[in-house]
Amino acid sequence: MRVHRLVVFLCLLVVALLAGSACQPEPLSLPTPIHVSATPGRDLALELPIPSREPATPLPGATPTPQPTESEPAAVQPEISYRLDAELDWLARTVAVDQQVELRNTTGVPLREVVFALDMNGSEETFRLKRVLTGAGLRLDNYTIDGTQLTVRLPQPLLPGGLLSLQLVFDLAIPQIRAGYRYGHMGYFGYSDRQVNLGNWFPLVAYYHPIRGWICPQPHTIGEQSVRPVADFDVTLRVTGAPEGLKAAAPGRVTEEVDGWRFVLPRAREFTVSVSDRFEILSTSTASGAVVELYYFPDSDRGLAAPRHALVTAAQALALFEQRFALPYVHGRLIVVEGDFPDGMEFSGLVFVSGDWFRAWLGIPNDWLTLITAHEVSHQWWYSAVGNDQGTDPYLDEALAIYSELLFFERYYPEHVNWWWNFRVGAYSPSGFVDASVYDFHSPRPYINAVYLQGARMLQALRDDLGDAAFFAWLQRYAAQMHGQVATPDDFWGALSSDEYAATFETRARFLRNVNVLARSADLP
C-alpha cells in the first residue's frame, strides 16, 4: 500500500489569528480557518500576534556573574549518533529494527562497557534483542539486559578519543494503549485502533557521569525517569500493510522513501514518531520562523475549534518561551500530536497532548487544553534543550514547565492569571518538598502537588525575591549555560549571583529539603 506524503501542505488549513494586540485576545471569538493552496514553504507563514525573537541579552538590573561553586568535574559526554532502519508491520503492531550507534569516547577515561536505556522494556516485555555486532561485523555476546538497562561489554576498552560503532538488531512488540494511570500515561509507546506511537522505542545510550559512570535510572510508576545526553538521529521508517492515507507526525527534516519516510533530527534527546491513517493537519509558523504542525483526529461533533485553539496556543507558547528564556527553538518544526492516551508527554521536537483535552474543551482559554499544550511546549526548553535527571531532580523540568503555563497566561490571557493560580495550584492545597525525587512517591497526586504545584509557588517566591528583571535574567543564564547538557540543581542555583543566592535563602528554606543546594557539591568526593 502506498504511504502518503508526509509533507503536509497539500491538506493544510491555516488559522488566521486575531488582529491587533495579543495582550487583548478575544478568546471566545476564534478566527475562521483559511484554505490555502498546495504551495509549500514560508508563504504560509502567518502574521502571528506574538513576539519576535529578541536578542539574548540579560534584562537590566540583572547581575550577570554566575555563582562560583565547588562543582563536580565537567561531564564530557560521548558524542553519539544513531542511524535506524525500522520496519513497522501495521497489522501485527511490531517493529523490526536495525540500529547503528556511533559513539566517540570524549569522557577522558577508557570505557569498558556501553550502557543503553531500554525505556520501552519497563512495564511489559516488549523488546527482543536478536544480536549485537561491532561495526566490523564481529558478534558480541557479552551483554546483559536487566529490565530497562542493556549493558554491552566491549572486547577491549574504548580509549579516550576512540570511535565505537555498534549494531543492535531487535524486534519490538508495541503494547496496546490501556486505560488507567499505571499504563495509560505510557501510551507514547503504544497503539490504539487509529494511532501507533513510537516514543522511547529504541535503545538510547545512557548518560555518562564523570564520577558515577553510566547512569541508567530504574523505572518507576510515577513521573519520568530518563536522563539523556544529546545525540544526532537519522531514522528510516518503512511500513508494511499500511492503510491508505497513512501519515507520520515526526520532528526533523523529513523525506519520502519507498513505503515510508526518512527523518533526520540532530541535537535531540531522542526521536519520536506517531503514525495514523486518520490524522488531519493544521499548520502555522511564528515570526521567528518556527513551523508548528498539529496532527489531530477529526471529530464532526466538535469541529475545528479545539484543534485550532491547540495550534494557536502551541505557536504562541513557542514564540513566548523563545523570548522569555532567550533561547531559540532549534528544531525548526514543532510537532503537536493529539494522543490517544491521558495528559501529555514531551519529546524533542514533538509533544503529545491528550485527545481527552480536545474533547473536553469548553471553547474558552482557561481550560486544560490550553494548560497542557503550553506546558508540553515549554518542555522544549525544560527537558529537550536543558536536560536533567527527570527521576532524581524532576523539579528542574516540571516546576519550570508548570510555571511556564503561568507565563503563558500572563502574556496572552492576563485576566485569567488568578484563575490559573486557583484552578491549577490552590485547589489542591499542595504541600511537600519541591526537590523530592519521583522515587519518593507512589501515587501521582502527592508527586504533582510537591514537585509541580509547590514548584510553581517556589518559582513565584523566587521571582518576588529577585524582581522580574533578575529572575528572568537568571533563567536565561541557566538556559544559555546548560543548553545541550544535563543540568543539576547545582547548575540551576549556581546560575544565581552570590547576592541573589543569599537573597533567596528564605524561599529555599520554605520549599526545599536541601536548603543549601550549592554547599552539597563541596561534600562530594
CB of residue 206 to Zn ion, shortest distance in Å: 22
CB of residue 376 to Zn ion, shortest distance in Å: 7
CB of residue 287 to Zn ion, shortest distance in Å: 26
CB of residue 185 to Zn ion, shortest distance in Å: 11
The piece of 278-286, 303-311, 391-399, 456-464 that touches Zn ion (CB under 5 A) is 391-399
Question: Among residues 12 and 268, whose Cβ is nearest to Zn ion?
Answer: 268
Q: How many helices (H) and strands (E) does the chain have?
A: 13, 26
Site string for Zn ion, 347-386 (x = CB under 5 A): ----------------------------------------
- DSSP 8-state code for residue 122: S
Q: Which of residues 446-505 bind Zn ion (CB under 5 A)?
A: none
Asked if 389 contacts 217 with a C-beta cutoff of 8 angstroms, the reply is yes
Say which residues have a Cβ less than 8 Å from residue 516's Cβ, sequence separation at least 6: 508
Question: Among residues 78 and 339, whose Cβ is nearest to Zn ion?
Answer: 339
Q: What angle do CA 279, 283, 289 make, to 5 degrees?
A: 145
The piece of 6-14, 233-241, 401-409, 479-487 that touches Zn ion (CB under 5 A) is 401-409
CB of residue 190 to Zn ion, shortest distance in Å: 19
Dist. CA 393–CA 488, nearest whole Å: 7
Question: Among residues 260 and 344, whose Cβ is nearest to Zn ion?
Answer: 344
What are the helix (H) ranges across 341-467? 355-359, 368-378, 395-412, 417-420, 444-447, 454-466
Question: Among residues 90 and 383, whose Cβ is nearest to Zn ion?
Answer: 383
The piece of 64-72, 236-244, 332-340, 399-407 that touches Zn ion (CB under 5 A) is 399-407
Dist. CA 483–CA 387, nearest whole Å: 8
Question: Among residues 82 and 382, whose Cβ is nearest to Zn ion?
Answer: 382
Question: Among residues 121 and 384, whose Cβ is nearest to Zn ion?
Answer: 384
Dist. CA 186–CA 221, nearest whole Å: 10
CB of residue 203 to Zn ion, shortest distance in Å: 24
The piece of 18-26, 115-123, 395-403, 513-521 that touches Zn ion (CB under 5 A) is 395-403
What are the helix (H) ranges across 303-394? 305-324, 355-359, 368-378
CB of residue 126 to Zn ion, shortest distance in Å: 24
The piece of 156-164, 257-265, 358-366, 394-402 that touches Zn ion (CB under 5 A) is 394-402
Question: Among residues 209 and 269, whose Cβ is nearest to Zn ion?
Answer: 269
Return the beta strands (E) in 33-162 as ranges: 33-35, 79-89, 94-104, 111-117, 127-134, 143-146, 149-158
Question: Among residues 186 and 401, whose Cβ is nearest to Zn ion?
Answer: 401
CB of residue 330 to Zn ion, shortest distance in Å: 19
By CB under 5 A, residue 401 contacts Zn ion: yes
CB of residue 78 to Zn ion, shortest distance in Å: 27
Number of residues that bind Zn ion (CB under 5 A): 2
Question: Among residues 149 and 388, whose Cβ is nearest to Zn ion?
Answer: 388
CB of residue 375 to Zn ion, shortest distance in Å: 5
The piece of 71-79, 84-92, 190-198, 392-400 that touches Zn ion (CB under 5 A) is 392-400
CB of residue 124 to Zn ion, shortest distance in Å: 23
Residue 129's SS3 state is strand
By CB under 5 A, residue 306 contacts Zn ion: no
- DSSP 8-state code for residue 386: B
Asked if 512 contacts 492 with a C-beta cutoff of 8 angstroms, the reply is no
Closest residue by beta carbon to Zn ion = 401
Dist. CA 239–CA 88, nearest whole Å: 5
The piece of 36-44, 133-141, 331-339, 390-398 that touches Zn ion (CB under 5 A) is 390-398
By CB under 5 A, residue 103 contacts Zn ion: no
- Residue whose C-alpha is closest to residue 346's, from 290, 294, 401: 401
Question: Among residues 338 and 398, whose Cβ is nearest to Zn ion?
Answer: 398
- Whole-angstrom CA distances from 437 to 68, 116, 512 are 26, 22, 12
Q: What angle do CA 486, 523, 115 make, to 5 degrees?
A: 40
Question: Among residues 396 and 518, whose Cβ is nearest to Zn ion?
Answer: 396
At what angle are helices 454-466 and 468-482 packed, to 10 degrees?
120
Distant-in-sequence contacts of 363-367, Cβ < 8 A, 24+ apart: 363/28, 363/30, 363/305, 364/27, 364/28, 365/25, 365/27, 365/309, 365/313, 365/412, 365/413, 365/416, 366/409, 366/413, 366/416, 366/419, 366/420, 366/423
Asked if 151 contacts 113 with a C-beta cutoff of 8 angstroms, the reply is yes
For the chain, how far is it from start to end, CA to CA, in angstroms? 59
Instruction: Kindly list the residues in this chain that would bind Zn ion in the complex (CB under 5 A).
Output: 398, 401
